[in-house]
Structure 1
Amino acid sequence: MSYSTEVMLITKALCAAGGAMRLSQLYRSQSTIAEQTFHFIVENCPRFALLPGPSQDGLKEDECTVVARTSLRLCQKYLSDNCAGCQDLHLCRYYVYGNCKFTPGRIECRYSHNIHSDHNSPLLRECTLCDLSQDQLFLLLLQNDQALLPEVCSHYNKGLQQHGICSFRETCTKVHLCLHFVQGLCFFGRKCIRQHSIDETGRCMLMERGLSDGLITKLPIIYQNSHRLKLAAAGDSPSSSHSDGICTGDICLHFLRNSCRFQETCELVHFHLPYRWQIFNDGSWLDLQQMEQIEEDYCDPSNCQSFDLEPVSFITMTRGSQPVRRLSTISSVKRPLHYTLTTKWLWYYKQEQGKWVQYGEPDDKNRTTSVTSKDLEEAYLSNKTEVVLVKGHREYTLTFTDMYQRNNKNNTKRKVLRRPRYVSPTEVRRLRSIH
């Protein structure tokens, strides 16, 4: 049975709404599609990416966001006059940006401004996109094609100064936007020291590069949708891998080994421990007192919060109403063994009795899983969606998107956690002295 009409209707609704919608909102917009059919299409058609909603946005646990995607791209060889026939669109890039300097009636552009040309029309029909308006198609292309989007400045997002550590400041040719906002994970709203919209300097720079004023206004949302699609392609999601406030790979390993040659110019954090707990207060990240004790509490998977007078919640990564973050060295599976102060992440599942058991270790009935913490960490960092494992005579599937292990026979599930191995300050000093 063909669902091409329904796919087109849902796609148009998403693109008209900016490229993404809440699942319930999208369903309400499709009064002509039966509920069972709607959910089947959204969950199974590759046109749609279904991602859990971020918890800080106030969504229910089962509320999801649907993002429109396509494999269709602009032909890069066409723009360089080297294309001899392909399955990509032949269109002027600046026409897609909405600001081509060549206009009909004056000087004709050498590249096509016709989405329904003899080359483009069959491609749009084949991809079920022929009924999209021009603006809807261009938005869909932009949020799916990284090559079309201006790069967000990574240096702007480091350090505590107004422009981060970006040395170009007003003359930077990259976009100055908060990366956490772009990823849909910024807790700070108007209090954030980074920009959540493009300022006048950035607007002028982008207009010089051919982007229209209307597109520049939409860019922050397009970046967010593009990031969501990257997570979907990687089998990841904001709720499973980022909402816990853990930033991996931020602390400089060479500094811990007393060998960082970049010193003050190093882009990574120089700190005397392989972890660092901080709280956001008055526009700055400040070190938490007793962070060694907080780290020890956090490394125990049975703890949902620290045990100091003002506890840190490990579920929401907050203390009271203030956001908290944990910086860390890179995962141990990413570096050679002689880098002893990497972070060794351990993976646990929760038994019926509430006890947390590490993967690869025996449970209360002396049964072990077929995979270890190291196996899971390698799979997690290689962007796998899930891992199939065996314990006893039963097969399970662990999905990284929601951090649950499911019994493949009866679909019962167990919560999964990823926590670091505790390294005491004494052990850190001993390991540092070796190098």
Structure 2
Amino acid sequence: MSNDKIVRYATRLLCSHQGSLEYRQLHRHVCNSFDISDYGLCYILRECCRFAVVGGTEDRTSYTEINPDCRIIARTAVRLCKDYPKDRCADCEEGLHLCKYFVYGNCRFGKGRKPCRYSHELSSGHNYEVLRNYHLLDLDQDELFMLLLQNDPSLLPEVCVHYNKGSGPYGACTFKASCTKLHICQHFVQGDCMFGYKCKRSHRIELDDQKKLEERGITRENIHNLPSIYRNIYDLKNCSISSIEGEITDTSQGPSVSERESNEICLHYIRKQCSFQEKCIHVHFHLPYKWEVYDKSSWVELHHMEEIEKAFCDPENTHSEGSRPVDFLEMTRNSAPVRRLSTASSVTKPPHYILTTEWVWYCKGENGKWIEYGLPDEKRKVSSVTSKELEQAYLADNNAEIILTKGHRQYTLSFKDMYQRNPKHNTKRKVRRRPRFVSEKAVENKRMGYGSCLIVSI
């Protein structure tokens, strides 16, 4: 059974139910349609970037169960291209080229009269590629637009902060009826308003806001759904995002420190010196990396581990070799989740620690070759930050943006999007983070060399 099918099914189900469902409802639908264990479903919902688990009395360190009261929200990294309406897009890879009024459901041009100058075609070459890359081709038009409305912050007005302060029908909002933001109770949107129907703030879309939203092009049906959409927007904004690149993420880089540490390979065990033995919280393995595939109920070691690791360390590779290759971007093999465990990053340990993982940061150059940060590119220009400095910044905040220079040009590197952008020309280059390759023989040599040093020092 393919996890991809379950992900696609669950995404469609959520989008057809105003973007979210209680876990108990989603569980019932999925388990009625697929032969999957509770653990398997929980793992997919927690580790797949397409879902957010929010609410309830959730224990975020447990991966064996999800509180039935939790809500599962559909999410995506796809947005409408901001530069498309300005005719400035350089064929971006992640932005849809669509009329936003078409997404709202009420474009006044595409109805048999004067044609709209902006695309209404989901199947156009560009849009098809974006939807294919983000695994959204299964969604029908209404489901896709629901997903976009609750994930793309440019589509809906913000909740007015000033309306939620002060007294009177408009709170402290000085714009009153002419305010372009939404006048609705923020606590109602957050799901924690203690006043209920007695609240002085509105718990529905009032006539003034309805008119503004309709003038904006939003259909009455979508306006009716807005309170639940705003609730999803709020929860998505406040929940932690483990990854946006790939469907199933490497759990060694999950949201909690304790979880990340429990999936780290023990440095002391590699040196044959772990005194905690079976009580150690780290993974005991003879290499500084370990590749595993999820086989229905448990993680199983992959064969030809050194060959997979060698392929992964080359930033040009998106797959390993062989008849059953590992997809490095999706972290899957034949749709089954794959993860890579590793030792701690080398920047987090003193230099004398052996067999830490040296992560290397690369940017794709003009000729298609991947250039390590801090080394000269094809024009002999060097970036102002090194790979080591980027790794330190990434571990401090993996959603940060880093400003760097190369030659006379300034760039912005987004850890979240894994792109380097030239803000002047709005061009982008892909960025990848891959480990430095260490063979099994090199591991053994380092281990033996470390032991010899110990004998000499004694």
Q: TM-score, normalised to structure 2's length?
A: 0.49
Partner of 2:88: 82
Cα distance, 1:153 vs structure 2: 0.9
Change (3 A) 1:163 1:234: farther
- Judged with a 3 Å threshold, the aligned counterparts in structure 2 of structure 1 residues 386 and 219 are, in CA distance, closer, same or farther, namely same
Q: Equivalences for 1:60-79 in 2 at 5 Å? A: 63-79=69-85
One-letter identity of the residue aligned with 2:186: L
Structure 1 letter corresponding to 2:33: T
Distance 1:135 1:62 in 2: 27
Over aligned residue pairs, what C-alpha RMSD do you find?
2.5
The alignment partner of 1:66 has SS state of: strand
Q: How has the CA–CA distance of structure 1 residues 133 and 107 changed in structure 2, closer, same or farther, with 3 Å as cutoff?
A: same
* Distance (whole Å) between structure 2 residues aligned to residue 116 and residue 234 of structure 1: 29
Conserved? CA contact 2:22–2:68, under 8 Å = no
Q: Hey, what's the Cα distance between the residues in 2 that align with 1:29 and 1:77?
A: 39
Confirm whether residue 49 of structure 1 aligns to residue 63 of structure 2.
Answer: no
1:14-58 per-residue CA deviation (whole Å, 9 max, x = no partner) reads: 111111111111010111221243222112111111123279xxx
Give the letter aligned to residue 86 of structure 1: C
1:170 and 2:177 equivalent?
Answer: yes
> How do 1:388-403 residues align onto structure 2 when only pairs under 5 Å count?
none
Aligned match of 1:158? 165
1:292 matched to which residue of 2? none
CA contact (8 A) 1:152 1:174 kept: yes
Amino acid at match of 1:9: Y
Of the three residues 26, 38, 41, the one matched with 1:38 is 41
Give the Cα separation in 2 of the matches to 1:46 and 1:140.
Answer: 14
Query: SS of 1:67's equivalent?
Result: strand
Output the CA distance in 2 between the equivalents of 1:159 and 1:408. 55
Q: Aligned partners of 2:26 and 2:67: how far apart in 1?
A: 17
Contact 2:73 2:236 in 1 (8 A): yes
Look up the SS of the partner of 1:119 in the other structure.
helix
Spell out structure 1 runs of 4+ moving beyond 6 A: none
**CA distance in structure 2 between the aligned counterparts of 1:173 and 1:54, rounded to whole angstroms:** 36
Could you tell me how far apart the structure 1 residues matched to 2:171 and 2:42 are?
A: 44
1:22 aligns with 2:22: yes
Q: Secondary structure of the equivalent of 2:125?
A: coil
Matches within 5 A, 1:11-410: 11-30=11-30, 31-33=32-34, 34-35=36-37, 36-53=39-56, 63-87=69-93, 88-233=95-240, 386-387=256-257, 409=281
With normalisation by structure 1, the TM-score equals 0.52
What fraction of aligned residue pairs are identical, expressed as a percent?
45
CA contact (8 A) 1:14 1:68 kept: yes
Deviation at 1:388, TM superposition (A): 5.4
Distance 1:107 1:200 in 2: 30
Count residues in correspondence.
Answer: 241
Q: Give 2:208's aligned amino acid.
A: T
State the Cα deviation string for residues 251-309 of structure 1 (Å, max 9, x = none): xxxxxxxxxxxxxxxxxxxxxxxxxxxxxxxxxxxxxxxxxxxxxxxxxxxxxxxxxxx
Please give the secondary structure, in 2, of the residue aligned with 1:76.
Answer: coil
Q: Secondary structure at the match of 2:71?
A: strand
1:46 aligned counterpart, secondary structure: coil
- Residue aligned with 1:96, SS: helix
Amino acid at match of 1:171: S
Q: Distance in 2 between matches of 1:408 and 1:152?
A: 48
- 1:276 counterpart residue number: none
Structure 1 residue 409 displacement after superposition: 3.9
Structure 2 match to 1:10: 10
Verify the 8 A CA contact 2:52 2:75 in the aligned structure 1. yes
| Counterpart-to-counterpart distance in 2, 1:32 and 1:211 | 34
CA distance in 2, matches of 1:110, 1:154: 35
> Residues 7 and 128 of structure 1 are in contact (CA less than 8 Å); yes or no, is this contact kept in structure 2?
no
* One-letter amino acid of the counterpart of residue 191, structure 1: K
Q: Take 2:78 and 2:124, find their aligned partners in 1: how far apart are those partners? A: 16
What 5-or-longer segments of structure 2 have no aligned partner? Answer: 59-65, 243-253, 260-278, 283-458
